[in-house]
């Protein structure tokens, strides 16, 4: 123990950075070691838990500097939507409320809570939604639908139910030319499930649960990314090897009740680029042979959090993730279809297999999602001037990744709301999408 404390003293005592602790003033050397570590992590700018990956540490509270670089279109939307940005933007989380130790992070929402599956209550023909729309266009066979002629802020509850079902069947649904106040976006999220309030990410001031998606902000605050090294969101660049884009992932898979419907609204969109790609887990599952499906059905896997924490009993033992076990093949509560629930970033291993077997199979399953263009859709967010674009996706049965080709030179700003869903389950009687839709199942492999 004494050695560990001495190590920290060595780490801190010569620092000239004003953001660092003055060790002797703040450490009670009689306090438990984990308490000293917690104090260090909460107080130090470089060890700051408000960082995400390589992002710079930020001061908690509304950021006046961020306000200076906020795109005009975003500012207009926020002010017109009644958001008070007079003290700054975005709202950087309070470090005192961010978990330091993995047991604290694991305890968040670690119990069943009520979830109403809105899509299950919807009219399967979606007459209310479709009759109000000008057009409903499937963008590819397996994933992605664009709806025009509707304003999301005007939807009735019946239309919200039908939209949930459409999202859950088609994976992702897009709406251009929207006027969407942030509060209305959160209300929509509240309707579809418990809105996740992210403890680590910047939020819209006064509206917890609305996460700010604004990589340009982090870049302008000092995050060292460019077109060669943009691997933000990748946990291990050597292992996953992806430059220039985010890695494929599904959000919040480590939760007891992981993400259901997620809604990203971009109000500031680059002239060219800044696209996002989604892939269908229903279609990925249907790519597998019938024999392999049988092998995978009922298997479970370990899923990890995006963020890392410390082990209270071994705080210098390295970073730890929250780990949670879920079915590898899930049944969707609204569509009843089976889908492949894996992603390269956050599926760690298949329960019951040797590490070699697990790696081999998981890497193949990741490839099925990532390498088959026919299960994917790529979306360009462009809207008419003065409007924003919404993408609403099923964050269970899909993966996604953003494409950072605009290099943060043109503004790309948006707000995201995620509604958490059911405890994941696998129903052995459930069917694949192709089976349920009566499409031919190839027996040739
Ligand atoms: Fe994501």
10 Å CB burial of residue 296 (0-12, 13-18, 19+) is buried
The two three-digit tokens of residue 277, written as one number: 């790609």
Q: How far is the CA of 391 from the centre of ligand 1 (A)?
A: 12
Q: How far is the CA of 254 from the centre of ligand 1 (A)?
A: 13
Q: How far is the CA of 416 from the centre of ligand 1 (A)?
A: 10
The two three-digit tokens of residue 71, written as one number: 């795109």
Q: How far is the CA of 385 from the centre of ligand 1 (A)?
A: 26
Q: How far is the CA of 262 from the centre of ligand 1 (A)?
A: 9
The two three-digit tokens of residue 118, written as one number: 């809105």
Q: How far is the CA of 42 from the centre of ligand 1 (A)?
A: 26
Q: How far is the CA of 105 from the centre of ligand 1 (A)?
A: 19
Q: How far is the CA of 76 from the centre of ligand 1 (A)?
A: 25
- Report domain extents, the chain: 1-47, 60-437
Q: Identify the band that residue 49 occupies on the pLDDT scale cut at 50, 70 and 90.
A: low
The two three-digit tokens of residue 32, written as one number: 């438990």
Q: How far is the CA of 135 from the centre of ligand 1 (A)?
A: 28
The average pLDDT across 114-140 equals 97
Q: How far is the CA of 248 from the centre of ligand 1 (A)?
A: 8
The two three-digit tokens of residue 415, written as one number: 């707000």
Does 48 have pLDDT greater than 60? no
Q: How far is the CA of 401 from the centre of ligand 1 (A)?
A: 6
Q: How far is the CA of 250 from the centre of ligand 1 (A)?
A: 6
Q: Are strands 276-280 and 300-311 parallel, antiparallel or unpaired?
A: unpaired
Q: What is the pLDDT of residue 445?
A: 62
Q: How far is the CA of 400 from the centre of ligand 1 (A)?
A: 6
Does 136 have pLDDT greater than 50? yes
Q: Identify the band that residue 35 occupies on the pLDDT scale cut at 50, 70 and 90.
A: confident
- Whose structure tokens read 């509060």? 183
Q: How far is the CA of 112 from the centre of ligand 1 (A)?
A: 24
Q: How far is the CA of 27 from the centre of ligand 1 (A)?
A: 38
Q: How far is the CA of 251 from the centre of ligand 1 (A)?
A: 5
What percent of the chain shows pLDDT beyond 70? 86
Q: How far is the CA of 319 from the centre of ligand 1 (A)?
A: 21
Q: Which of 3-17, 252-266, 300-314 has the lowest mean pLDDT?
A: 3-17
Q: How far is the CA of 347 from the centre of ligand 1 (A)?
A: 14
Q: What is the pLDDT of residue 9?
A: 43
Answer with the residue of higher pLDDT: 24 or 430: 430
Q: How far is the CA of 316 from the centre of ligand 1 (A)?
A: 29
Q: Identify the band that residue 327 occupies on the pLDDT scale cut at 50, 70 and 90.
A: very high
Q: How far is the CA of 123 from the centre of ligand 1 (A)?
A: 29
Answer with the residue of higher pLDDT: 81 or 445: 81
CA distance 314 to 173: 45
**Count of positions (residues) in the chain:** 445
Q: How far is the CA of 32 from the centre of ligand 1 (A)?
A: 37
Does 216 have pLDDT greater than 90? no
Query: How far is it between the farthest Cα atoms of the chain?
Result: 71
Q: How far is the CA of 35 from the centre of ligand 1 (A)?
A: 33
Q: How far is the CA of 321 from the centre of ligand 1 (A)?
A: 17
- CATH fold for domain 60-437: Double-stranded beta-helix (3.60.130)
Q: What is the pLDDT of residues 93-111, one digit of tens each?
A: 887 788 888 898 899 899 9
């Amino acid at each position: 123990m004494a050695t560990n404390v001495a190590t920290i003293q060595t780490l801190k005592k010569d620092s000239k950075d004003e953001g660092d602790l003055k060790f002797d003033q703040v450490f009670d050397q009689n306090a438990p070691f984990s308490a000293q570590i917690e104090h260090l992590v909460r107080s130090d700018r470089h060890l700051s838990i408000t960082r995400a990956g390589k992002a710079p540490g930020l001061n908690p509270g509304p950021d006046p500097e961020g306000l200076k670089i906020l795109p005009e279109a975003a500012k207009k939307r926020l002010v017109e939507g009644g958001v008070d940005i007079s003290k700054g933007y975005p709202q950087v989380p309070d470090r005192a409320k961010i978990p330091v130790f993995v047991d604290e992070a694991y305890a968040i929402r670690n119990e069943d809570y009520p979830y109403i599956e809105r899509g299950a209550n919807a009219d399967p023909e979606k007459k209310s939604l479709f009759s109000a729309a000008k057009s409903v266009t499937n963008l590819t066979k397996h994933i992605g639908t664009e709806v025009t002629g509707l304003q999301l802020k005007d939807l009735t509850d019946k239309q919200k139910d039908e939209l949930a079902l459409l999202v859950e069947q088609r994976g992702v649904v897009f709406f251009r030319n929207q006027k969407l106040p942030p509060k209305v976006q959160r209300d929509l999220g509240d309707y579809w499930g418990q809105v996740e309030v992210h403890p680590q990410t910047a939020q819209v001031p006064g509206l917890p649960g609305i996460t700010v998606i604004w990589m340009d902000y982090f870049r302008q605050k000092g995050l060292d990314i460019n077109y060669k090294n943009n691997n933000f969101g990748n946990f291990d660049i050597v292992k996953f090897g992806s430059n220039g884009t985010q890695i494929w992932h599904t959000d919040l898979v480590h939760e007891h009740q992981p993400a259901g419907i997620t809604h990203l609204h971009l109000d500031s969109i680059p002239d060219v680029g800044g696209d996002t790609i989604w892939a269908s887990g229903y279609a990925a599952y249907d790519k597998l042979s019938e024999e392999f499906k049988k092998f995978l059905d009922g298997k479970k896997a370990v899923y990890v959090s995006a963020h890392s924490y410390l082990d209270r009993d071994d705080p210098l033992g390295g970073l730890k993730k929250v780990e949670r076990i879920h079915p590898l093949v899930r049944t969707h509560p609204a569509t009843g279809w089976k889908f492949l629930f894996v992603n390269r970033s956050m599926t760690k291993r298949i329960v019951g297999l040797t590490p070699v077997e697990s790696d081999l199979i998981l890497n193949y399953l990741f490839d099925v999602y990532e390498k088959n263009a026919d299960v994917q859709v790529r979306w360009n967010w462009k809207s008419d001037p003065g409007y924003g674009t919404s993408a609403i996706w099923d964050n269970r049965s899909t993966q996604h990744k953003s494409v950072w080709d605009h290099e943060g030179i043109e503004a790309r700003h948006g707000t995201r709301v995620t509604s958490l869903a059911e405890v994941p389950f696998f129903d052995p009687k459930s069917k694949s999408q192709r089976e349920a839709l009566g499409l031919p199942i190839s027996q040739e492999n």
